[in-house]
Amino acid sequence: MPQMSPMYWLILMFFFISMLMLMIMFIYFIIYKKPNYRFINFVENKMNWLW
């Protein structure tokens, strides 16, 4: 198995941490902001507009 550079590990760790943060934020949003339907609709419309 080839030796990987520290820079590669740094980028990989950063990527995983950022993905974890995004997942936690998304789960938090789903669980705690569920009753606020107007806000969710607003966000969905924004997302549709962005995509």
Map 1-51 to HEC letters: CCCCCHHHHHHHHHHHHHHHHHHHHHHHHHHHCCCCHHHHHHHHHHHHHHC
Tell me how many domains the chain contains. Answer: 1
CB 40 within 8 A of CB 33: yes
Structural domain includes residue 14: yes
Share of the chain above pLDDT 90, in %: 27
CA atoms within 13 A on the CB side of 7: 0
Structural domain includes residue 19: yes
Q: Which domain holds residue 45?
A: 6-50
CB 23 within 8 A of CB 17: no
Answer yes or no: is pLDDT of 17 > 70. yes
Q: What is the pTM of this model?
A: 0.46
Q: pLDDT at position 12, please?
A: 92
Structural domain includes residue 1: no
